[in-house]
Structure 1
Amino acid sequence: MRYRNMTMLLEDLERHGQLIRVDAEVDPYLEIAAIQRRAYRAGAPAMLFTRVKGTRFPMVANLFGTMDRTRFIFRSSLRALEGLFRLKVDPFDFFKHPWRYAGVPRALFSAMPRTVKKGSVFENTAAVSELPQLVSWPRDGGGYVTLPQVYTESPEHPGYKHSNMGMYRVQLTGPHYEKDREVGLHYQIHRGIGYHHAQALRVGESLKVNIFVGGPPAMTLAAVMPLPDDIPEVVFAGALAGFRIPMVRRGGDLPVLADADFCISGTIMPYQKPEGPFGDHLGYYSLEHDFPVLRVDNVWHRNGAVWPFTTVGRPPQEDTVFGDFIHELTAAMVPQVFSGVHEIQAVDAAGVHPLLLAIGSERYVPWASERQPQELITSGMALLGNTQTSLSKYVMITAREDAPALTTHDYDGFFKHMLERTDFGRDLHFITRTTIDTLDYTGISLNQGSKLVWTACGEKKRALAHHLPADLTLPAGFGDARLFGRGIVVLRGPAHTAARDEHDEAMFRLAEHLGGIGGLEGTPLFVVADDAAFTAEDWTNFLWVTFTRSDPATDMYGAGAFTHCKHWGCRGPLIIDARLKSFHAPALETDPDVERRVDELGAPGGPLHGFV
């Protein structure tokens, strides 16, 4: 089944028991988002809400809520797309197994968009204020579009070949925007729309933008796909959809997705306005900052238009499925993009960009009596210099030769392997005063902080402890030490009070204290948190707290620390300060009253019983 519009998709999902209709009235302010998050956690079907307070448009949630449903949606073209990726890795496989590639010619033919004269999206018009105003978290600054397809073209080279389509945050309402005339457009660093915006400013033109909502599901997935710069997302969408994506191009205007449910068309203005706050996928709020403003020229929608949405927050959420699906599609391509790298994982539990685990090769000097990271450093720097992996904050990379069965998806095994082999005086490579993910508030300012390439290879250097050292003592203000995993100590620290871009004297006292204790060779990593019990409860909590609440250069300390020729290291143990800092954005919390209302909807006899 190849879905050309949202109606085809919803009808087919309903026929196969993958969608339910919810006719009870729901509120787009907090309530519908709470329902969606619970539906995702429950593995529930997609949900079509037919009565949404304050809007005439139905809303649909959880479309991509499970891997099985996502594979089902793209079942007709998935094999052909996998064939394309396989041929990229090994072109000669076509001659060995030609039957695997029966659908590839169609996928190639479908890739280029098809320009048409008219589309269903133009059947009606609306005002921005008439659209569903989704507010996902209590402190959100207004209503948001959470599954947008934001389309632009290069002002210098217009056309599909130099187009970009990304899932950039769109704020529909807020105190700073002129009602129905302005919306906020939040795009982060290292995004294709930024290059187009820079070109427009350089040539003195305004950048035109079309925001599509709904339409063929392949367009939604393409908008989040981390593609090379020379592959337009709309081209990938055609290959994934199994048909040429129809676009309407009127005169010199930007093309419009013919079968989109909605299109917001406008122009980026030469000024910025405050956008946010917004509860984001790291599990914290993005705070209010100045971002571009889109002056709205038109809002179109087709007959029977349905507004798809999702909610982001602390992982896992529905966007976790996007990440898993993309990884499944592209895993075989990793060695082609990053020479010497065999496997990578942007860790969802850690908010994706804060932590990247990788397995590479160490082949530079195979004759050396002691293997030490060299090629691994090159590979780590390459990961920080290409595609979306460049947004990573911590890159932990080890050599496949040391443990061929090791995988980045076994956190306990991976961290154990790293901690057994790391030379803490040699293997930590910092990049300071650099660009970091816009959503990460651990750095020295918005978009600025540090990165770390942490390498490890060769023979084991230490045996990791299975128990806390019997004589472990801690300085005043620290306590509740507990062993997490093997070789990792989690403890509670005092509340953070230091200013941004400053070390904390309390952490230096801890490092000095630990340096004076013997017998810590088996516990090379100490993590300081606000709540040690929560942090050490499981890997999900540990990864989230440790890597979303620390900046490598500011928040890493060590017993016996030294700086030699600008290289920092320590004799151990290494300490990561993973406390919430005084300048961090607040973590996301739900509204108790809203959660109680959702409880009622899910109670026996309620419209959502058995689904939330």
Structure 2
Amino acid sequence: MGYINTRQCLDALEARGELVRIDTAVDARIEVGAIQRRVFLAGGPALLFTNVKGCRFPMAANIYGTRERMHFIFRDTIATVRRLMKLKLNPMEALRHPLRYLGAPRTAWHTLPRSVGTGPVMEHETTISALPQLVSWPMDGGGYVTLPQVYTESPDNPGYAGSNMGMYRVQLTGNDFLPDREVGLHYQIHRGIGHHHAQALAKGQPLRVNVFVGGPPAMTLAAVMPLPEGLAELFFAGAMAGHRIPMVSREGGLPIPAQADFCICGMVMPGEQKPEGPFGDHLGYYSLTHDFPVMRVDRVFHRSDAIWPFTTVGRPPQEDTVFGEFIHEMTAELVPSVFSGVHEVHAVDAAGVHPLLLAVGSERYVPYAQDRQPQELLTNAMSLLGNTQTSLSKYVVIAAREDMEPGLSCHDIPAFFGHMLRRVDLTRDLHFITRTTMDTLDYSGISLNQGSKLVLAAAGSPRRTLAAELPSGLDLPRGFRNARVFAPGIMVLKGPAHRRKRDQQDPAFDRLGEILSQVRGIEGFPLIVVADDAGFTAKDWDNFLWVTFTRSDPATDIYGAGAFTNAKHWGATLAVVIDARLKTYHAPPLAPDPEVERRVDALGAPGGPLHGII
């Protein structure tokens, strides 16, 4: 059976030597977040901060910081839940291998929450200002909940079956929020809570919201799980927990997990919004201040031995990277059943997840053709852009499985890029979608939630040899310099500082494309990236992916050598040029506080609690 609450889970990790207690006084502002990030990057243990300055509640971090730890926490249920998912994919499996699925009915029973009259979470009440006020980055707007389980129920279909539980940002303090009476509720587009909020607005009534913190680890996992619409996360939590989740029923209010550490209860009133942010986000930049719904706080409950679990986010990899990898393990076999014709997907963590999606699909529309071209692949790509969280992808790069060497996967990023760049027809295979919906955290577009997408699909035989050395006689226009080969077929340049306004292209790049088109051998570099710092960008794949795909909007920032437009179709005869400079309107990148980093260094010095870990 899975762990029923946070403390039970931490005790088990400590017994395994996978938890370190830090009794040194630490500050929830900047310091604990910096410690968590350093320990995560070192592959270190979970952390329990027992002495948080100005707060009586201990804080726990890095609980899910390694793949091995995730598997340990969910060791009792992961195999059964994966079999249950496979059974949904192919019920005949149960008839072929009945012994493998003996636990499936019991797991299905665990999905049903169990109503109880009370529980540990109801033992005490507190205030918002008494909670740990985690501030992860220097410019953050206030204290935040970073591992919340935000629970709502459909006003049109109340009850567990119509519930949603997501991990949406909750700002506890700062800005114009009334102390102890209001918190900010930042939910991005394409989230289940949005449907509930729309229903409440249509009825002209408040939307009740409960924010759970802690409790069974399965609840945290369920809150980030990209489940199909209509499948309640609470049901998935029961399956992963290995027991029915006990929920305290409250007259006139939403239910509360009996074993949660904390619960903030309140409601979002129709039409009430206030500025929320800024906040360091998982793309590696600050998401800036924007108006989001306000949650009026009614009660704040907590258990006697409450622990405040938290994480911090920033440029990948971070702890949420491990969640993503774990989710991929759980759902990889379901991809073909959700996206017809798609065999594999990879939302690239190093690029911030939503900015870049790599995929492998089928190209079977014209099997008798001597050489394939993307046709079914485009249907595959539109399916990816029309369903679940993959719909937020900005760049979709999709290859035909029929052309791939045995063993090649879109998770092997260098090999996959090489495969695509050898085959892509730059005059035909770039398909833009403009003025469309974008990820809320992506500031590369023309406005909040609005930008463009690019589908790059390649099928058929190789059409070029990728160059590994710069062309001789490469003479760049003024302001462009430091050309270097990043990988076969990929060149990186340093460009001048960006000076244009939002939603404007840069004529200097048109000139660059004209000059490049005259360079003999430039066709060996079908992808050219211009950045502020060519050395940093070309240092490794993580840097290249992060700079290229978080700092560019396809419609605004793609140019070409031999560029043309024909009947509204854009292409390039020789090379695609991506403007990946920081723009005047971009959010600033995250940067650590040097003084705090020095304090963290001291914790890792001989005699410090993190000596030998960081």
TM-score of the two chains, using structure 1 as the length reference = 0.99
Once the two structures are TM-superposed, the CA of residue 405 in structure 1 deviates from its matched residue by 2.4
Cα distance per residue 1:173-214 (max 9 Å; x no partner): 003110000000000000000110000000111000000000
Cα distance per residue 1:356-406 (max 9 Å; x no partner): 000001001111222100000000011000000001000000001101422
| SS of aligned partner of 2:293 | strand
Answer yes or no: is the 8 Å Cα contact 1:400–1:406 preserved in 2. Answer: no
Once the two structures are TM-superposed, the CA of residue 466 in structure 1 deviates from its matched residue by 1.4
Equivalent residues in 2 for 1:317-328, closer than 5 Å: 317-328=318-329
Cα distance in 2 between the residues matched to 1:587 and 1:535: 14
Q: Counterpart of 2:394?
A: 393
Cα distance in 2 between the residues matched to 1:367 and 1:395: 27
Q: Counterpart of 2:380?
A: 379
Answer yes or no: is the 8 Å Cα contact 2:365–2:375 preserved in 1. Answer: yes
The answer to whether residue 204 in structure 2 is matched with residue 193 in structure 1 is no
Cα distance per residue 1:155-178 (max 9 Å; x no partner): 011011110000000000003110
Q: Counterpart of 1:277?
A: 278
| SS of aligned partner of 2:335 | helix
Once the two structures are TM-superposed, the CA of residue 90 in structure 1 deviates from its matched residue by 2.3
The answer to whether residue 526 in structure 2 is matched with residue 520 in structure 1 is no
Once the two structures are TM-superposed, the CA of residue 95 in structure 1 deviates from its matched residue by 2.2
Answer yes or no: is the 8 Å Cα contact 1:469–1:519 preserved in 2. Answer: yes
Once the two structures are TM-superposed, the CA of residue 96 in structure 1 deviates from its matched residue by 2.2
Q: Counterpart of 1:609?
A: 611
Once the two structures are TM-superposed, the CA of residue 251 in structure 1 deviates from its matched residue by 2.2
Once the two structures are TM-superposed, the CA of residue 522 in structure 1 deviates from its matched residue by 1.0
Cα distance in 1 between the residues matched to 2:381 and 2:174: 41
| SS of aligned partner of 1:239 | helix
Q: Counterpart of 1:77?
A: 77
Q: Counterpart of 1:153?
A: 153
Equivalent residues in 2 for 1:295-306, closer than 5 Å: 295-306=296-307
Structure 2: where are the runs of 5+ without partners?
none
Equivalent residues in 2 for 1:15-414, closer than 5 Å: 15-269=15-269, 270-403=271-404, 404-414=406-416
Answer yes or no: is the 8 Å Cα contact 1:340–1:379 preserved in 2. Answer: yes
| SS of aligned partner of 2:522 | coil
What amino acid sits opposite 1:254 in the alignment?
L
| SS of aligned partner of 1:494 | coil
What amino acid sits opposite 1:440 in the alignment?
D
Cα distance per residue 1:533-591 (max 9 Å; x no partner): 01001100000000000000000001221222211111121100000001100000000
Once the two structures are TM-superposed, the CA of residue 442 in structure 1 deviates from its matched residue by 0.2
Once the two structures are TM-superposed, the CA of residue 80 in structure 1 deviates from its matched residue by 0.6
What amino acid sits opposite 1:340 in the alignment?
G
Once the two structures are TM-superposed, the CA of residue 355 in structure 1 deviates from its matched residue by 0.1
Answer yes or no: is the 8 Å Cα contact 2:146–2:312 preserved in 1. Answer: yes
Answer yes or no: is the 8 Å Cα contact 2:175–2:276 preserved in 1. Answer: no
Answer yes or no: is the 8 Å Cα contact 2:164–2:192 preserved in 1. Answer: yes
Corresponding residue pairs, total = 612
Q: Counterpart of 1:555?
A: 557
Cα distance per residue 1:264-316 (max 9 Å; x no partner): 00011231110000000000000000100000000000010000000000000
Answer yes or no: is the 8 Å Cα contact 1:126–1:300 preserved in 2. Answer: yes
Cα distance per residue 1:309-355 (max 9 Å; x no partner): 00000000000000000000100000000010000000000000000
Once the two structures are TM-superposed, the CA of residue 523 in structure 1 deviates from its matched residue by 1.0
Answer yes or no: is the 8 Å Cα contact 2:360–2:401 preserved in 1. Answer: yes
Identity among equivalent pairs (%): 67
Cα distance in 2 between the residues matched to 1:599 and 1:6: 28
What amino acid sits opposite 2:174 in the alignment?
G
Q: Counterpart of 2:493?
A: 491
Cα distance in 2 between the residues matched to 1:474 and 1:606: 53
What amino acid sits opposite 1:272 in the alignment?
Q
Cα distance in 2 between the residues matched to 1:588 and 1:111: 40
Structure 1: where are the runs of 5+ without partners?
none
What amino acid sits opposite 2:205 in the alignment?
E
Cα distance in 2 between the residues matched to 1:523 and 1:305: 57
Cα distance in 2 between the residues matched to 1:13 and 1:519: 57
Answer yes or no: is the 8 Å Cα contact 1:135–1:143 preserved in 2. Answer: yes
The answer to whether residue 453 in structure 2 is matched with residue 481 in structure 1 is no
Cα distance per residue 1:402-446 (max 9 Å; x no partner): 014220111111111111111111100100000000000000000
Cα distance in 2 between the residues matched to 1:389 and 1:47: 33
Cα distance in 1 between the residues matched to 2:357 and 2:382: 12
Give every structure 1 segment of 4 or more consecutive aligned residues whose post-TM-superposition deviation is greater than 4 Å: none
Answer yes or no: is the 8 Å Cα contact 1:80–1:102 preserved in 2. Answer: no
What amino acid sits opposite 2:286 in the alignment?
Y
What amino acid sits opposite 1:146 in the alignment?
T
TM-score of the two chains, using structure 2 as the length reference = 0.99
Cα distance in 2 between the residues matched to 1:134 and 1:176: 18
Q: Counterpart of 2:593?
A: 591
Answer yes or no: is the 8 Å Cα contact 1:285–1:585 preserved in 2. Answer: yes
Cα distance in 1 between the residues matched to 2:67 and 2:301: 32
